[in-house]
Amino acid sequence: MYKKVYIDINMKNKVTDEILKVFTDEGMQFEFISDCNILERNSLYLTDDKTRLSDTLINVYILGKEYDFLDIKNAIFVKRIEDVFRIYRDDVWKKWAQELQFLAQCSLAYSKDKFDRERSERIREIACEMLAYKYDIPIDKIKIDFAGELGYQTPKVETRAAIIKDNKILLVKEQLDGKWALPGGYQDVSVSIRENVIKEASEEAGAIVEPLKIIAVLDYNKHHHVNFPFGMVKIFVLCEYIDHSFVDNTETLGADFYSLDNLPELSTTRTTVKQLKMCFDCYENPEKWDTIFD
C-alpha cells in the first residue's frame, strides 16, 4: 500500500463530501496541497491538470479525454477521483516485482547473448524472491505462477457467460472458495471466443447456450480488489439460455439462477455485483447496447 495521497488543491471543489467520507472510512491517508513537488517516497499525487504534474511524487492523472495519456509520461491514469483509492491500496513492492519480471521475460524472449540471458534470469529470480519474502509464499510456487511463461509477456484472456432467464442470472458455485460467479474461465488456445463461452457454460453449469453479444471487454486489474500479476482481459458475453442440467465436475459445486436483489455470496475475484448489473443492463436492451471496453 502507498504511504499517502496528495491531492491537487485546485481539485478541492471537485472532491465531494461523499468521496471524502469513503477515503476516511477506508483509512486512506490524504492531504490537499498547492506545492506538488514534495520530496516523499512511495506517495501519490492526484491531479487533472497537465500543467501541475509532480516531479517528485507518483502522479495519478484523471483522464478528461481518452487520448490525454499520449501527452503525459510516467503517470498512473484513472477516470474518476474515487479510483485513486484502488491505486492507493495497491502494493508498490508487488508493482516493482511485476515490472522486473516483465523486463526479464522480454529479454529472455529476444536476447541471443549468453551473458544478457544470465543477467535476465537473475533479475527474474530477484522478482520471485521479492514476492516470496513479502507474502511468505514458497519460492517454487512463485516461480511456477509468476515466472513460468516464455515469450513476450501479454495478458491472460478470460470469458464469462451472462445467461439470464426470467430476470434471473445463472451463477456457479466455485470449488476453490465455495462462492458464486458467472460461468467462465481462461480462453483455450484452440477455440474461438464463442466456442470458449459455450464450452465453459457447459462444463461449469451444465448449460446449453447461444452466445449473442459482447457485453464488455474489461481490464481485470481495474475492476477487482486484487491485482493479477500478468494482467487479464475479461470478456463478458450475453447468451441465450436454452437448457441446463448441472453435472458434477472438478471446478464447480452447483449452478442456479439468482435475481439481483437476492444474490448469494460472490467470488469477487471472478465476478462483482457491478459486473452483474452491467450484464442485466445489456440484457434489457441488447439492440442499443454499446460494448464497454477499457
CATH number at residue 176: 3.90.79.10
State which H helix or E strand residue 277 sits in.
helix 273-284
- Give the span between the Cα atoms of 39 and 4, in whole angstroms: 12
Pair (118, 175) in one structural domain? no
| C-beta atoms surrounding 148 within 10 Å | 8
Pair (191, 250) in one structural domain? yes
Pair (129, 163) in one structural domain? no
Contacts 24+ apart (CB under 8 A), 32-39: 32/6, 32/7, 32/8, 33/6, 33/7, 33/8, 33/9, 34/9, 36/6, 36/8, 38/6
Residue 181 in domain: yes
pLDDT value at residue 203: 96
Pair (237, 193) in one structural domain? yes
pLDDT by position in tens, the chain (length 294): 788 999 999 999 999 999 999 899 888 999 999 999 998 888 999 999 999 999 999 999 998 887 777 778 778 888 899 989 888 887 777 788 888 998 999 999 899 999 999 999 999 999 999 888 877 888 888 888 788 877 887 888 999 999 999 999 999 999 999 999 999 999 988 889 999 999 999 999 999 999 999 999 999 988 887 777 778 999 999 999 999 999 999 999 999 999 999 999 999 999 999 999 999 999 999 999 999 998
C-alpha cell of residue 161:
457467460
- Give the span between the Cα atoms of 27 and 21, in whole angstroms: 10
Pair (206, 261) in one structural domain? yes
- Give the span between the Cα atoms of 256 and 251, in whole angstroms: 15
State which H helix or E strand residue 281 sits in.
helix 273-284
- Give the span between the Cα atoms of 265 and 267, in whole angstroms: 7
Helices assigned H by DSSP within 92-232: 92-110, 114-135, 139-146, 193-205, 220-223
Asked if residue 39 lies in contact with residue 56, where contact means CB atoms within 8 angstroms, the answer is yes
Residue 151 in domain: no
C-alpha cell of residue 284:
434489457
> Into how many domains does the chain fold?
3
Instruction: Name the DSSP class of 245.
Output: -
Pair (83, 106) in one structural domain? no
Instruction: Give pTM, 2 decimals.
Output: 0.68
Residue 250 in domain: yes
Strand partners, 162: 238
Q: Count of residues for the chain?
A: 294
Q: Which domain holds residue 30?
A: 4-89
Instruction: Name the DSSP class of 266.
Output: B
Cα 247 to the center of its chain, rounded Å: 30
pLDDT value at residue 141: 84
3-state helix, strand, coil in the chain (%, to 5): 40, 30, 35
Q: Answer positive or negative: Cα dihedral of 93, 95, 99, 101.
A: positive
Pair (96, 85) in one structural domain? no
Pair (282, 196) in one structural domain? yes
pLDDT value at residue 146: 82
pLDDT value at residue 1: 73
